[in-house]
Amino acid sequence: ALQKEWAEFVGSKYCLTTASGTAALHMGLAAVDVFPGDEVIVPSYTFLATASCVMHQMAIPVFVDIDPVTYTMDPARIEAAITPRTKAIIPVHIQGCPANMDPIVEIARRHGLYIIEDACQAHGAIYKGRMCGTIGIAGAFSLNNLKNLCGGEGGLFVTNDEDVLKKGDLVRYF
């Protein structure tokens, strides 16, 4: 019931419950085939899970500085961090403040990169009429007891892509 209700709430086709927000991020990376040695762009200001989930895939987190006004990933600094090994970008909607997604989406489109949103602190946050966590190929939410929507522990993985859902589900049990 939680999966169905959360998917409806955020406007996503699919939702899977997870052990944590970190697990949901890890599922997203695995689901888009981030492999050892691939690079994933992450913001320099975030909880350690954003980068550690990249390392769980034996990939390399590449840190991009934040915008000092929004405290989210600075889109103007992303392209300088892209290399031929870059596979994905993880923007973080930190403390409920949405990342500037329009330029991030455009950069990802131009370079053929996946976006996995870290919405672990952004339950119900909206970016230009869309729920945070639903703009990229996948989104991750945390239900940790310190989050604005706490469940003691756990997480939520959302996507509109059935293949990403199936691949993410393969990782969920680990």
13 annotated active-site: no
Find the catalytic residue in 4, 128, 147, 166: 147
Beta partners for 63?
42
| CA pair distance 92, 104, nearest whole angstrom | 11
Sequence-distant (6+) residues with CB within 8 A of 55 are 61
b/e string for 130-166 if b means 16 or more Cβ within 10 A? ebbbbbbbbbbbbbbeebeeeeeebbbbbbbeeebbe
Give the catalytic positions in this structure.
147
